[in-house]
Structure 1
Amino acid sequence: MGIRLGYKASAEQFGPNDLIRFSVTAEEQGFDSVFISDHLQPWRHDGGHAPAALPWLGAVGARTERLLLGTSVLTPTFRYHPAVIAQAFATLGLLYPERVILGVGSGESLNEVALGLEWPDGKERFARLKEAVTLIKKLWTEDRVTFDGTFYSTDKATIYDKPTQPVPLYIGASGPAATRLAGRVADGFITTSGKAPELYSETLLPALAEGAGKIGRTLSDLDLLIEMKVSFDPDADRALADTANWAALALSPEQKSGVEDPIEMQRLADELPVEKAASRWIVSTDPDEHVEKIRRYLDLGFTHLVFHAPGEDQERFLRLYGEHVLPRLRAL
């Protein structure tokens, strides 16, 4: 499997029409894929956005020709019944053959509690994800599916319009249990950059290999996708300042735990200095420095790099990265 270089359409930061325009530019600049998160609420209330991923994927597919399109990630366990997701992505797979990927995860309370849903512990969230993935795959490959699970059920359900080959399913995870599940049942694995190096080398990738090994696969049988947090601009001050909008990513798990209101999340993020906000990002004016730091993830075995830029001028980023960084990465 060759290396893919993608673009993260920041649904928390931009509206749907802007994101389509950016995706068209990404295709023109040589990016291979576009991935979007599916949020009900963004990290920030002021200036935040949360377009629905499902209709947006259909719209951007119609405006592009070759980009792989996917979610990183969507939660098929609370706001959606898994069968609804199975139907939606079967339709997208028919509309855009071999161009659609379903990326799923166990979710965040920020997106679910606002609808009156009670947020369960990690054990239940994992069990729901595992069951949802099982049901989705059954609906993609079988007819008249009667499913009696702990959380979801169907009675002689059929997805009537589905592609010949099921849509690839990726699982996003930051812990070993869900990562082992990805290795065992998924076509790809999704995680994010900027965390402690040993998390990838000592926890996530070994867990992924363990899961894959249980069904006779290796890591080379999976697409290893990582969202790369990068801020690149010839103006060093601008590259640093752009990261402030995404300071919530630098909050510790303890700081974010139980925060279900974008206004409160924004308040916590705005208390961080810009240097702390930038800690999750590769911030540099030098394309060779970007390539050097990105290469560490390639050396770990990641095969699909999806670049997330924090600034407001996304088309500027896409042109600069397309001109100065992507060719260097492809030349490695």
Structure 2
Amino acid sequence: MRFGYTLMTEQSGPRELVGYAADAERAGFDFEVSSDHFSPWLTEQGHAPYAWSMLGAVSQVTERVELMTYITCPTIRYHPAVVAQKAATMGVLSNGRFTLGLGSGENLNEHTVGHGWPAVDTRQAMLVEALEIIRALHAGDLVTYRGEHFDVDSSRIWDLPDEPVRLALAVAGDKGVQRFAPLADDLIAVEPDPDLVSSWNAVEGAPRIGDGARAIGQIPICWDPDEDAARERAHAQFRWFAGGWKVNADLPTTAGFAGATQFVRPEDVAENIPCGPDLDKIVESVSAFKDAGFTDVALVQVGDEQQQRFLDEAAEPLLAKLRDRLG
């Protein structure tokens, strides 16, 4: 199993994130993923730099770690042709270390451009067209595309990496797996659901997880020498996580997330996020992804406050424990 570090754009500024990326590579993480948000989930988080500028800088201060968006929505805020160009440039800058993580997005970020928030079936149909466009442009040919949702007119990407950028797809449920598994290189999911992995592997034409394809999970943790401080910070900055995907995808503002989570208690958050200095408790939480058949998992250290200390003091011994038990 491979272990990643999350560049959480909602909780840190761009200069800080670039520094954390370099330190996370030195600490021994295998890969780094970045969120791609226009807004934080909660006002308390306080940040939302442009992920693609930050990732370009990260590509130049790192040499070994793989880089990835987790995740980009290529349908409303961005036209898929522009996403294809950005991803290709990242592939070149990183010397082939970049994976484009894609999904159908959240209202929180996509409502910004004023085009409305479609129903889930429409969002997924838009994502299929976006994938077709990105694949075609990454082949290096002149592309003209006419779809129900997107058009591309006589366009080519002129700077491409030596190998095509991998496409990882965030999916949930049998319908999503059936629809998207044949179109992707890797699976993304934030819940350690073994049925998701087995369903993916059963789809005809899908790349098989464990045999070239990856299942890439993500888990929040809140390391801190003071467990009470960790619980309070996790509650302040990550209580939105308790809403689940259906809520998180549809709420449009930080005020909406604050209202939806006003009755979530610190102890409720701590039931789902390992908090405090106990590294074994973190390993136990991560093990659920290993048991579910995931090949990769990215850790989210909650909050900017103890981010540098986590990287300086906890990351290396935590990675040693993770690799000893789950690697």
- TM-score w.r.t. the length of structure 1 is 0.90
Kindly report which structure 2 residues correspond to 1:137-216, keeping only aligned pairs within 5 A, or say none.
137-193=135-191, 200-202=193-195, 204-211=196-203, 214-215=204-205
Counterparts of 1:257 and 1:324, CA distance in 2: 35
Q: Residue deviations 1:206-254, cap 9 Å, x none?
A: 331133xx12642222111100122233322123222111101112567
Change (3 A) 1:100 1:50: same
SS of match in other structure, 1:24? helix
Alignment match, 2:255: 263
Alignment match, 2:14: 16
Counterparts of 1:232 and 1:74, CA distance in 2: 27
Q: Residue deviations 1:95-114, cap 9 Å, x none?
A: 21121111010011111223
Q: Residue deviations 1:266-299, cap 9 Å, x none?
A: 2433432111223331335322232233223112
Task: Note if contact 2:105-2:249 (Cα within 8 Å) is conserved in structure 1.
Answer: no
**What letter matches 2:200 in structure 1?**
L
Task: Note if contact 1:7-1:35 (Cα within 8 Å) is conserved in structure 2.
Answer: yes
Alignment match, 1:60: 58
RMSD of aligned C-alpha atoms?
1.9
| Deviation of the 1:49 alpha carbon | 1.0
Between 170-179 and 222-231, the greater mean CA deviation after superposition: 170-179
| Deviation of the 1:263 alpha carbon | 2.3
SS of match in other structure, 1:166? coil
| Deviation of the 1:77 alpha carbon | 0.3
Counterparts of 2:206 and 2:166, CA distance in 1: 19
Unaligned runs of 5+ in 1: none
**What letter matches 2:144 in structure 1?**
T
| Deviation of the 1:7 alpha carbon | 0.5
Kindly report which structure 2 residues correspond to 1:303-322, keeping only aligned pairs within 5 A, or say none.
303-311=295-303, 312-322=305-315
Counterparts of 1:63 and 1:254, CA distance in 2: 36
Alignment match, 2:240: 248
**What letter matches 1:38 in structure 2?**
D
Residue 292 of structure 2 corresponds to residue 297 of structure 1: no
Percent pairwise identity: 34
Pairs aligned (count): 322
Counterparts of 1:104 and 1:261, CA distance in 2: 21
Q: Residue deviations 1:271-330, cap 9 Å, x none?
A: 321112233313353222322332231122111110001132111122343232110122
Counterparts of 2:85 and 2:249, CA distance in 1: 33
Alignment match, 2:322: 329
Task: Note if contact 2:140-2:158 (Cα within 8 Å) is conserved in structure 1.
Answer: no
| Deviation of the 1:182 alpha carbon | 4.2
Alignment match, 2:213: 222
